[in-house]
Structure 1
């Protein structure tokens, strides 16, 4: 498996796959984040534990040439550039997983593959299989492995084949949805992270320590729920079914239904005592989730308004 990216999620995927008996090779677009892995093992702690020797590709050509499956595991702002880098080396019969899709990037990838005459499956994920962050040059912490996430396939008729592939690689934790818009409207990170960033903005700007889930107080949770309600109304207008933010938390952390967002966030913090919230304005809460998460939702709302004349608050 070829994995584009070398952050916490990408390396978490590599460890997950290696532990499951699959092969994995990673490519760092910048090159810098993979240097430490060339001559030492990756140490993984948390929900997944162990030491793993990670193969490192020196170029997108090396990554893609022998891979049956290529996983795009970089922040949303990097999707276009890394897709442009790997597309020239793609071949027919490969599968490309976008983890997770933002701003309809899966559609971009599929159209450019088709333009080159490449018949390949593109799998768009609504979120990531696991929650991972780098804790050192050769270490990552896995905060959790999700029990369920939605995927869509391009072309749509490849849905069952793509669903089976996901299950072979990462287990029985996927649900196939028929419409790519269900994935576009199903990513919960943008509204959750927007609320957390806005309400803790001075902490972020001043570089103060704060725990991410401890920062989701009842007032912040109400803002998350209000933003989520707008997303749900937009999904209804597009006639697609997506999970609520409450369902997302239950599936991500194994909580029973009936708890509020604030209560679940408090329980996650008590159990994990972290992870820390961002301490720089360059955080993906701002650079990824706003331009590639919130803005596309606003644009989809504008398109729906132009089509139906219905007003939207987004």
Structure 2
């Protein structure tokens, strides 16, 4: 199958490696060009759960990417979703399938509306998180730390023929659980609360560029903060009548733990097995710059619309704004699509 991947970071390259291994034909496009600057004509080393080498194919512009693709996977940070959607929609054609990996701030709904406005009959699938845990390990290397055993996905149009979810399974295996309401996907991404707690509780390490291991830093105190944020998110989901996994479910399904372990115990076990990955060592980290405006802020917005109290989410936003001297709630260009 011909796949167009929007993005050239760790997740996008991980997808390209996986899909190449499975016999598909992926082509990537880097919106800024920076992530692809070291890749043109070069071989990429893949380590982790997949050990291989391959030569990624890079499209020079969105039109060439879209002309190639039967399936389009959006794999850029949340702050790039609107920009890349606006760039690719003019070249979309009926019959294509679009996968948003992963949806933040109802970006899949924005994509769906843009396609309808252009009279393009296509399927859109929103993932709650990424199928792979993957990161750039060097200029020409990518490390795939794991493959998620289960993740939720919602399709637009709702109540369609299921072909979009079927394509997801064809590409990445039988690991997708379909949910009916795209709002459930908007409230299912666990990265924002986990990353917010980890970043706030390790901020001086981040700012001073000190090494720290991500899972090792989820101590019992940090785990309690994650659990408190999770309780607020679950309350918002209940107010919207949608069911989402808990942070415990997320760890069980992602790492295969048996029930009964605490969140801190599971994090410690992941660290003991992997000895990593490292936590961020720059304040320009997606833990904040992506997950706060496109993960924490939408939960606050959804909560306010239903009168649900989320004081810890709001406090986290206030603290992060003070640390950065910014207003992250103003950096979300998709909030008007949060229903």
Aligned to 2:87: 85
Moved beyond 3 Å, runs of 4+: 310-314
Give the secondary-structure state (helix, strand or coil) at the position aligned to 1:24. Answer: strand
Aligned to 2:110: 108
Contact 2:232–2:309 (CA<8 Å) still a contact in 1? no
Contact 1:45–1:142 (CA<8 Å) still a contact in 2? yes
- Of 111, 117, 120, 2:119 maps to 117
Aligned-pair CA distance for 1:207: 1.2
Deviation track 1:34-77 (CA, whole Å, cap 9, x = no partner) reads 12222221110001110012111000011011200000000101
Deviation track 1:84-111 (CA, whole Å, cap 9, x = no partner) reads 1111110111011000000000001100
Contact 1:159–1:176 (CA<8 Å) still a contact in 2? no
CA separation in 1, counterparts of 2:310 and 2:228? Answer: 14
Aligned to 1:200: 202
Normalising by structure 2, report the TM-score: 0.90
CA separation in 2, counterparts of 1:52 and 1:256? Answer: 36
CA separation in 1, counterparts of 2:215 and 2:231? Answer: 20
Which ranges of structure 1 fall in alignment gaps of 5 or more residues?
none
Aligned to 1:293: 295
Aligned to 1:212: 214
CA separation in 2, counterparts of 1:48 and 1:182? Answer: 31
Alignment of 1:281 onto 2:283: yes
Aligned-pair CA distance for 1:153: 0.5
Aligned-pair CA distance for 1:311: 4.6
Aligned length: 310
Give the secondary-structure state (helix, strand or coil) at the position aligned to 1:158. Answer: coil
Aligned to 2:128: 126
CA separation in 2, counterparts of 1:49 and 1:212? Answer: 23
Give RMSD over aligned pairs. 1.0
Aligned to 1:22: 24
Give the secondary-structure state (helix, strand or coil) at the position aligned to 2:273. Answer: helix
Q: Superposition pairs for residues 124-273 of structure 1, below 5 Å?
A: 124-158=126-160, 160-273=162-275
Deviation track 1:198-227 (CA, whole Å, cap 9, x = no partner) reads 100111111111111111001000100110
CA separation in 2, counterparts of 1:311 and 1:73? Answer: 32
CA separation in 2, counterparts of 1:287 and 1:134? Answer: 18
CA separation in 2, counterparts of 1:134 and 1:107? Answer: 29
Aligned-pair CA distance for 1:283: 0.1
CA separation in 2, counterparts of 1:65 and 1:257? Answer: 47
Deviation track 1:152-172 (CA, whole Å, cap 9, x = no partner) reads 001012262111111101000
Deviation track 1:213-259 (CA, whole Å, cap 9, x = no partner) reads 11100100010011001111110111100000001011111111111
Normalising by structure 1, report the TM-score: 0.97
